[in-house]
Chains A and B, each alone.
Chain A
Amino acid sequence: MDIPLKDRAIEFYNVSYRLNNGNDILVDLNLEVHRGETLVLLGRSGSGKTTTLKLINRLLTPAGGEILVNGRPVPEWDVIRLRRSIGYVIQEAGLFPHFTIERNIGLVPKIENWPATRIKERVQELLRLVGLDPQIAARYPRELSGGQRQRVGVARALAADPPILLMDEPFGALDPITRSDLQREFVELQKRLRKTVVFVTHDLREALLLGTRIALMEAGKLITLQTGAGFLCAPEPLAVAYRNAFGNEFEERGGS
């Protein structure tokens, strides 16, 4: 697949990551994330998907290889600038418990010195965007439900309108109904926003629903990189195991 350089948002070349105790977490990873796509990193715990994510915003530094963001090697970026141009959403949202929802969402704009009135408008706009009542702006995270907190987490990541969004199992801790609501809303949101999203999950259903492409990982290696339809007929044993684990509904759809 030859993708023009300008359409590559994130590139991994022979990237490896090793823990201090010598354990290899990532081995020789090669990966491209296209501008505007949702790339899902699918795999079990310990497969290296979260590590891959954290290498992008330099929360971790690779042992070898090169990572480029917007065509520029990550070590050449000012790390603060890099992170502010990448939205980051984690499980349980990681909201600041001592800040109101408004301050949580408005934090990056505030440290970027946006005028106060513009921050206020932006917060209202974002709350509506993620399907929340703008009235909750004055509340604290503990006063919200898990689903609401996760929506606020997404709103916070979008605050300064970053072109890239990293999402680490953002819906993993939610009850099934809330999770499915948020997944559907995410698809709608992404249709409008066209962000470059890297999304970590261990849930095949979620991967198929949200992903433009799915990268299947195991033991620090990329097993296969496929579109949703491609994944459903991928011959790799692990891909087959995933389909079986989630029931044969996918086998049937894959054949049609």
Chain B
Amino acid sequence: MNVWQFMLQNHVEVVELTLEHVWLVGVSILLAVLVGIPLGILISRWPALNRPVLGSANIIQTIPSLALFGFLLPAPWIGARADRLAIFALTLYALLPLIRNTYVGLRGVDPAVVEAGRGMGLTDRQLLLQVELPLAMGVIVAGIRVATVISVGLATIAAAIGAGGLGEYIFRGLAMVNNAVILAGAIPAAAMALVADFGLGWLERKLSPH
């Protein structure tokens, strides 16, 4: 039985696992955006926080994902549910590109434009929301794009701790030594990464000034 026959036969399960996968990635990217963008703004305002924040995010990035899932298993509340744990770990991985791109994007705004705004009497808040963030938005979306593509891949490993998603097929196929089953997980995951990459790439170009 080839992969297409397998997927056709199990189409209900394929859709179910795909939706689980989208849920894991979607929620963790959303959380990473909610935490990462404010952190990026923070370190662009207080350069002293730059090293500790980016350094921590960097260190998290270097932890092998399977090990991170394992470390978090005994953690209270987080470790209590597999999907919760997976979302938490994926959020941690997505933070670095978000913090860094927000920071780089804000720093990249033409200083003359910022100074003109300040000289005109914009408050810090007006300057941030009306000038700096909109001008940095292309770079920030590029960060979301990178984080999303990474997350789609990483989320397959979440199946190892029972969090579901398309990784289920990959692990099952590995155990059964059945390539068709592995591909039934890998192909939709790859397609999802491509769609996210294309969609967010389009958004990035729309939002970039010039």
Chain A residues within 8 Å of B, Cβ to Cβ: 57, 59, 80-84, 86, 88, 90-98, 107-108, 111, 142, 156-157, 166
- Measured CB to CB, the closest approach of chain A to B124, in angstroms, equals 10
Which of B121, B134, B209, B210 is the one whose CB lies under 8 Å from A83? B121
Q: Name the residue of chain B whose CB is nearest to the CB of A103.
A: B130
Contact A81 B121 (CB under 8 A): yes
Docked complex Cα distance between A108 and B116 (Å): 12
27 contacts between A and B (CB under 8 A): A57-B119, A59-B118, A80-B123, A81-B121, A82-B121, A83-B118, A90-B115, A90-B116, A92-B112, A93-B116, A94-B110, A94-B112, A94-B115, A96-B116, A96-B117, A97-B113, A97-B135, A97-B209, A97-B210, A98-B135, A98-B209, A107-B120, A107-B122, A107-B130, A108-B121, A111-B122, A166-B119
Q: A98-B134, A142-B210 are in contact. Are A111 and B119 (CB under 8 A)?
A: no
Docked complex Cα distance between A43 and B134 (Å): 37
Q: How many residues of B are counted as interface, with CB atoms below 8 angstroms from the partner's CB atoms?
A: 19
Contact of B126 with A by CB under 8 A: yes
Contact A83 B120 (CB under 8 A): yes
Contact of B7 with A by CB under 8 A: no
- Measured CB to CB, the closest approach of chain B to A118, in angstroms, equals 18
Which of A82, A88, A96 is the one whose CB lies under 8 Å from B113? A96
Chain B residues within 8 Å of A, Cβ to Cβ: 110, 112-113, 115-123, 126, 130-131, 134-135, 209-210
Contact B113 A94 (CB under 8 A): yes
Question: Which 5 pairs between the two chains have the least Cβ-Cβ distance?
Answer: A94-B116, A83-B121, A88-B119, A84-B121, A94-B112
Q: A94-B112, A96-B113 are in contact. Are A108 and B120 (CB under 8 A)?
A: yes
Docked complex Cα distance between A95 and B113 (Å): 6
Residues of A within 8 A of B134 (CB): 98
Docked complex Cα distance between A57 and B115 (Å): 11
Residues of B within 8 A of A96 (CB): 113, 116-117, 131, 135
Residues of A within 8 A of B112 (CB): 90-92, 94
Docked complex Cα distance between A48 and B193 (Å): 55
Q: A96-B113, A97-B113, A98-B135 are in contact. Are A59 and B119 (CB under 8 A)?
A: yes
Q: A59-B115, A94-B112, A98-B134 are in contact. Are A84 and B120 (CB under 8 A)?
A: yes
Known pairs A97-B210, A98-B135 / 11 extra A-B pairs, C-beta < 8 Å = A57-B119, A59-B118, A83-B121, A84-B120, A88-B120, A90-B119, A94-B110, A96-B113, A97-B209, A107-B122, A107-B130
Docked complex Cα distance between A98 and B137 (Å): 11
- Measured CB to CB, the closest approach of chain A to B135, in angstroms, equals 6
Residues of A within 8 A of B115 (CB): 59, 90, 94
Docked complex Cα distance between A97 and B210 (Å): 8
Which of B116, B131, B135 is the one whose CB lies under 8 Å from A88? B116
Residues of A within 8 A of B118 (CB): 59, 83
